[in-house]
Amino acid sequence: MIVKHCESGWEIVSHYAHGLLAGKIASQLKSRWMPEHWVDVLTGIIEHDDHLLDFEEKNYLTENGTPKDFTMEGGSDSETLEHARRVYSNSMQKSQMIAYLTGRHLEFLYATLAESYAPMRELLDEIESLRKSQRKLYGLTKKEAGHVYDMMLFSDRCSLILCQDKVPEVGRKLEVNKTINGEQFFICRTGEGNLTVEPWPFETDSFQLDFEYRILDSATFDDNKSLKTAIDAAQIKMRSYFLKATD
């Protein structure tokens, strides 16, 4: 989960909401970039971070009892491996396109761990060995499959920036990443109070994005169970951004 401190306590954005926002962003990209089987691709983007939150498996509190942002998450290597196996297995049951995107994302997340933990290296090697047949099934060259993954990387990063409320004040640009067609993208605020992305990668000249977040009033929590109870009962709010191409 994505955690941000606020005056009343904590703002919580679930990774499910973050993934959905990534899908909304991807759905606005230029239509000529969208491959066949677009629904599969879009589903893979939306679901790429699903199943990351499990209160039965992980502790989501810091030592001080505050909610733990995903960047602070720990857990043993074996627990991380088991989680990665389950996530990939679930994706394989739905679509090999979704499995391809999920596998690339798992490699992105755990390549560093794989350098020191052999079982994770074995899993990532196993996932990589399936990519050729996955591409063949969907009639994609390696370059075309890379383009699909670049669309996910771009949408994922944009979503994360918005969920973390990281867009700088007017006059400053934040790099998104270098992805689609080798372009380097930046996001920033405009003088009108909107957001823009440069170069503009979207089909229409303007659109609105919304995502849900929750407000936790308590500063600290006694245990994982009390945190989950608070999240389930929390007030749900909506945050909106309006994106517009610059002239």
- Supply the pLDDT for residue 52: 59
- pLDDT bucket at 55, cuts 50 / 70 / 90: low
DSSP code of residue 180: G
CA distance 192 to 170: 9
**pLDDT over threshold 90, residue 140:** yes
Please give the share of the chain, as a percent, with pLDDT higher than 70: 96
DSSP assignment of 101-120 equals HHHHHHHHHHHHHHHH-HHH
pTM for the model: 0.93
Decide if 139 contacts 166 (C-beta within 8 A): no
Among 23-37, 144-158, 216-230, the minimum mean pLDDT is found in: 216-230
Mean pLDDT of the residues in the chain: 92
Report pLDDT digits (tens) over 22-54: 999 999 999 999 999 999 999 999 998 776 556
Amino acid in position 122: E
